[in-house]
Structure 1
Amino acid sequence: RFLFVHALVQEALTEVVPVLRRARLHAAVATAIESRAGAERQAAAAHHWFQAIPAGHTARAWRAAWRAAEEAKRLRAYDVAVELLERACQVADDDLDLDPADRMDLLFALAEARFGAGDPAGQEAELTRIRHLAGQAGDRRRRIEAATGYGGRILQPWKVYGDHDADLVADLTDLAADDTLEPAARARVLACLALQSYYLPGSEPAERDRWSAEAARLARQENDATLLGRVLFARFYALLDPDSADQRLAAGEEMARAGLEAGDDELRTIGLTCQGGTLLELCRVPEALDVLAEAERLIGRTSMPYLRIMLGWLRLGVIVHRGDLEAAESLLADTVAEQRATSMWGAQSTTAGATYQIALMRLRQGAADAWRPPDEIAHDRLSPFNVDAYAHYLVVSGRIEEARRALGPWERQPPIPRTFVHLFWLVVRCEVWAALGDRRACADLYEAALPYADRMGMAGLSMLMWPVSRALAQLAEAMGDPATAQRHADHAERVERELAHPHG
């Protein structure tokens, strides 16, 4: 027997064979490949079944591609899995015998592959398609799976700031009203309802707290660590408001504990990251850094790029406070590159904040060659923050009157949203108006910030700025109360000293 090894020769010889005969030959080759042991042969079989479609093998083609994609996912070759499943979906559309359940399950496989490939936005789009198909087919189980399936096994990546899917919230609300749901399904539905309602106009933290607390109660009864972890992570993010830190800390601690008891490194690492980030927010710095160090140690055992990004932003804020410019710039570059390789929201906004923090550090160290304003955040709902950030740059630059003109009168300042950005934004605004010396603004801001005197100005599991007490000290000084200013300054100095030397 002879073998033509050059691809061009093979292609030329293949093209002279009639289409139908060629398709039958491909089918024979695919059958022979599948008869041999070895999962690594799945992709080759799928290739030949695709070529065999003209001979009536549409169903075998998309099913073979699906099997090959599952093997690719097992090997973490998610990009390959996405390509195979996209082709499978296209071919399946031409299969007149395609069952609606198979169609949805094929899309579920594609959604999972997209998430693994770093495309949570693509995953969400596939889940939306499934949810609509399941609704049309009256398939409650798949409708629930699609409505609650965003993210990975436990973690759900950041979504676009301010966005909410009203149709999804309506579906979840409808499902939550179904008294016949089994406890595990109800737990998932309630947890996702709490999370997906985060940006819904009129949504209140107390309502999200109630839904997610009930979800956690149900999940505990199921004795399923994965379900409990997923529900608790949703609870953590649903309660990212300035007044729910204690509930978030408890959720993080329970996730870490459940992961340890179950021998689940992924769950434990997620829990430790949530716990450590919240401890930082509560200015319990030595505890926070110990917990985050353990999370960093464990994350190497898992494949969790989304969590590694979140942990990277938290670590960057700490490094900035330590004054290690080289380490900060290196970690910034690595974290930005990793996040931009995904479709998880926040790369541009978080990079802008982190870059400005490093610029402030360079300025303090006398290393700023060209001090420039912070990059604007390209997002309508966060555009008012750009004004405050630019005013902060002007104030730090000593251009007080320019800052005053840029902002306008205090009465015209927009309220700070009570989302995860609240304390981050608040400390920036406080420092600006303290420098401007507007006594009414200082009094209003002091009253707004005082309940958070023992907190850190930070944005969820992301960059931290500085203690709220530092901003309070500046406001008190501007209002002519040096004793109160000193009390807040002492707290801020202690926290910043612990950030620089946690066990010193």
Structure 2
Amino acid sequence: MGIVDDLQRARSAFERRDWAVAYERLAAVDREAGATGLGPDELGTLATAAFLLGDTDACIRALQRGYRLQTDAGNVLGAIRFAFWLARVLNGRGEGAVGNGWAARAERLLVDQPEDVVERGYLRIHDFFRCLDDGDFPGALVVGEDIVAIARRHGDSDLLAQGLVCKGRLLLYSGRVPEGLALLDEAMVGVAAGELSPIFAGSVYCAMIEGCQEVLDFGRASAWTAALTRWCDSQPDLVPFTGQCAVHRGQILRLHAAYPEALAEFEDACRRYEASGSDVAAGLALGERGDVLRIRGDFAAADASYDEAAGFGYEAQPGRALLMVARGRVPGAVAAVRRLLAETGDPVHRSRMLAGAVEVLLAGDALAEAVAAADELDTIANRFGCAGLRAAAAYCSALVALADDDPDRALPHARTAARLWGELRAPYELARAKVLVGRAVRLLGDDDSASAELTAACRSFAEVGAEPARQGVERLIGRSPAGGLTGRELDVLRLVAVGNSNAEIAERLVLSDKTVARHLTNIFAKLDVPSRTAAVAYARDHDLL
């Protein structure tokens, strides 16, 4: 009765998502059963519990045993199921050669089986990801449609949700965003109804939210992130998917300019990814962290975070190019965005690059290229229809119009951007749009309205801790720059920054050496720094040069 009771307790724990108890009870039964051990079904359950606890080695061992039992019993379709999961788990942790070997073995076993079996649909999932790796988006879309058709014929909820996600993401990448989002919504119906097994449910959650983030559909992303958080919280022992959940929470917090909380989520995600060995995902979390640090003006920490992301194989762009502009390295930033735009083909990934590219290109006086990028973003935004993308496109249209000295054209775009960002409760982006409204109405001669818009933006930047943006608006308003430096003190500091001695500065500015020394003393006092080197570092980090 001991083994029977343990099996019943394991099944009950599994049903209530108590993965630790389920694993412990099944492992105990496995030990007590001696040479016979667990059967294939129980080994599948043990493997799932181990995976959800983050123990992929134990998961793989259980799957291998299940595969051998099914093979020995002549149950080919059962063996194919275990081979499918071995391929998925191994590929997921970066062991592509071994994982692909298991997928190939499953394909070989399938050759002599009936044509219309549901296992064929599961193996098509590997075909889908192979097409993606090869850049064959049309081929991947065909595979996604095939997975959905097989799943519907066999009434398999897991396979259907996976197929809908595959097809939906490909429709996004081909620019058919409303259709793609509709399929992702349909996949989520199965998750919300509790029809999916836990690994597929977690995968579909994350794929859905990633898709929404890619097209800046913040409404959907926020709603499903809240649902994913509840799902993760209902499983205290869960390890996979919790890192993604933390990243997605951080992204929503960043949208709402809750920067300290966003940083905490990104740092939590990094810890979780480090524990699970998910390198690329850790790179994403570090890239997002770098973006928040850049916005807050901690340029050195942002640079370090981007470097760490690159170490995990993640290129944090266009954030890194925007940081280069903020630190005065404009030619390098322009070269980077030109390369990125040349390398990025599909409209979804281009839409993520274009807004930053417009800002960088304008900083590099490449107005014609910036106009083209803004126009492309506007076209994509109109096709996709997502509010966040339309807001970004309106902002960029206003930005290039102002760069072209056309305030009449800029003003309606800036107001549209402000309205949309306000509806999305994005205070930092709203304040940026208000700056453009202020600049436009000032050029149209309405100084009072300009002052009101710029002052409101400055207050918002101060409230959320966006120091570089606040300083930029203060310069537009005409206030003293950070630290209260005078114009002459800034002149001296700029010459110090490029390596001039006191005598050289005196000669350049037609001052006495004593006056230059006095200016430096005042600079050190106002910036609360002890040396020339520290003053230059402060100036670079606070955009004073």
TM-score normalised by length of structure 2 = 0.58
Identical-residue share of aligned pairs (%) = 17
Distance 2:62 2:3 in 1: 33
Query: Which residue is equivalent to 1:197?
Result: 131
Query: Which residue is equivalent to 2:226?
Result: 293
Shift of 1:319: 1.1
Deviation per residue, 1:155-177 (Å, 9 max, x gap): 99966699996656756776787
In 2, are the aligned partners of 1:320 and 1:361 still within 8 Å (CA)? no
Query: Which residue is equivalent to 1:311?
Result: 245
The AA in structure 1 aligned to 2:425 is A
**Aligned with 2:365 (options 420, 428, 437):** 437
The AA in structure 1 aligned to 2:48 is E
Matched ranges for 1:227-246 at <5 A: 227-236=159-168, 241=173, 243=175, 245-246=177-178
Is the aligned partner of 1:186 residue 2:120?
yes
Query: Which residue is equivalent to 2:48?
Result: 112
Distance 2:51 2:373 in 1: 42
Deviation per residue, 1:223-268 (Å, 9 max, x gap): 3333423443454566673635344422322123234556669677
The AA in structure 2 aligned to 1:340 is E
Query: Which residue is equivalent to 1:394?
Result: 324
Distance 1:72 1:306 in 2: 18
In 1, are the aligned partners of 2:214 and 2:352 still within 8 Å (CA)? no
Shift of 1:479: 6.0
Distance 2:96 2:416 in 1: 33
Is the alpha carbon distance of 1:290 and 1:108 closer, same or farther for their aligned partners in structure 2, counting shifts above 3 Å? closer
The AA in structure 2 aligned to 1:436 is G
Query: Which residue is equivalent to 1:254?
Result: 186
Is the alpha carbon distance of 1:76 and 1:166 closer, same or farther for their aligned partners in structure 2, counting shifts above 3 Å? closer
Query: Which residue is equivalent to 1:225?
Result: 157
Q: Which moved more, 1:433-442 or 1:289-298?
A: 289-298
The AA in structure 1 aligned to 2:226 is A
Is the aligned partner of 1:375 residue 2:306?
yes
Q: Looking at both structures, which has the greater relative contact order when contacts are Cα pairs under 8 Å and sequence separation is at least 6?
A: 1
The AA in structure 2 aligned to 1:217 is A
Shift of 1:338: 2.8
Distance 1:444 1:134 in 2: 59
The AA in structure 2 aligned to 1:149 is W
**Aligned with 1:344 (options 269, 273, 278):** 278
Query: Which residue is equivalent to 1:453?
Result: 381
SS in 2 for 1:359: helix
Distance 1:413 1:166 in 2: 32
**Aligned with 1:327 (options 253, 258, 261):** 261
Query: Which residue is equivalent to 2:514?
Result: none
Deviation per residue, 1:156-202 (Å, 9 max, x gap): 99666999966567567767877823342222222332134321x2x
Q: Which moved more, 1:488-497 or 1:121-130?
A: 121-130
Distance 1:81 1:381 in 2: 34
Deviation per residue, 1:93-138 (Å, 9 max, x gap): xx9xx99x98x98986775354223255885798699889999999
The AA in structure 2 aligned to 1:218 is I
Distance 1:37 1:170 in 2: 37
In 2, are the aligned partners of 1:68 and 1:81 still within 8 Å (CA)? no
Distance 2:394 2:94 in 1: 30
Is the alpha carbon distance of 1:137 and 1:107 closer, same or farther for their aligned partners in structure 2, counting shifts above 3 Å? same
Matched ranges for 1:9-408 at <5 A: 36=2, 39=5, 76-77=19-20, 111-119=47-55, 140-149=76-85, 167=101, 180-199=114-133, 201=134, 203-236=135-168, 241=173, 243=175, 245-261=177-193, 274-275=207-208, 278-279=211-212, 281-286=214-219, 288-302=221-235, 305-363=239-297, 368=298, 372-373=302-303, 374-376=305-307, 382=313, 385=315, 389-401=319-331, 403=333, 407=335
Distance 2:82 2:426 in 1: 47
Distance 1:37 1:276 in 2: 42
In 1, are the aligned partners of 2:239 and 2:272 still within 8 Å (CA)? yes
In 2, are the aligned partners of 1:470 and 1:489 still within 8 Å (CA)? yes
Shift of 1:349: 0.9
Distance 2:235 2:157 in 1: 17
The AA in structure 1 aligned to 2:423 is E
Deviation per residue, 1:66-102 (Å, 9 max, x gap): x9999997852389769969x98xxx9xx9xx99x98
Higher helix share: 2
The AA in structure 1 aligned to 2:140 is R
Distance 1:164 1:476 in 2: 54
Shift of 1:297: 3.9
In 1, are the aligned partners of 2:229 and 2:245 still within 8 Å (CA)? yes
Is the alpha carbon distance of 1:372 and 1:324 closer, same or farther for their aligned partners in structure 2, counting shifts above 3 Å? closer
Q: Which moved more, 1:121-130 or 1:484-493?
A: 121-130
Q: Count the aligned residue pairs.
A: 420
TM-score normalised by length of structure 1 = 0.62
Shift of 1:209: 1.6
Distance 1:110 1:269 in 2: 18
